[in-house]
Amino acid sequence: MNRFLAIMILIAVSMGMAAAFIGWFLSTYYIFTWRPEILRILDIKMYYNETDGSWYLNMTVVNIGEAPAEIYKLEVYGVETVSFNPPIVVKPSEERELQVKLMGEYRHGVMYTVKLYLKSGTLYPVLERAVKA
């Protein structure tokens, strides 16, 4: 009788440990394989357009993640913030060129930090030099 009880306890403990391991493995595997929206900024250029006297920011971005990226705000750190309503959506595997007219005062040759804010809470800071077009 004691031997049978010991075998049953051993089987129950083994099954519990196996269930815990499988749960841990699946959750860890999901974390490492799931890719939310991941923006890669391929090109960025800030330039002054002499025809209308305005500064523009051109960016080429690609979403290499698995979820759509929704850009709701762009900030040129310390100068201005531009909000997008509705947000700019970059679908998975999509490459998109963005052109934003800036209203702030900028100077040629100065480095500015441009930040992209996504609805998911992700922030992408990029350093960019203002150039004359």
CATH code, domain with 58: 2.60.40.1890
Containing structural domain, residue 96: 39-132
Predicted confidence (pLDDT) at residue 33 exceeds the cutoff of 70:
no
Predicted confidence (pLDDT) at residue 95 exceeds the cutoff of 90:
yes
pTM: 0.68
Residue that the structure tokens 């009788």 belong to: 1
Are 22 and 45 members of one domain? no
Q: What does the pLDDT average to over 53-65? A: 90
The CA distance from 7 to 97, in Å, is 66
Are 66 and 113 members of one domain? yes
Predicted confidence (pLDDT) at residue 131 exceeds the cutoff of 60:
no
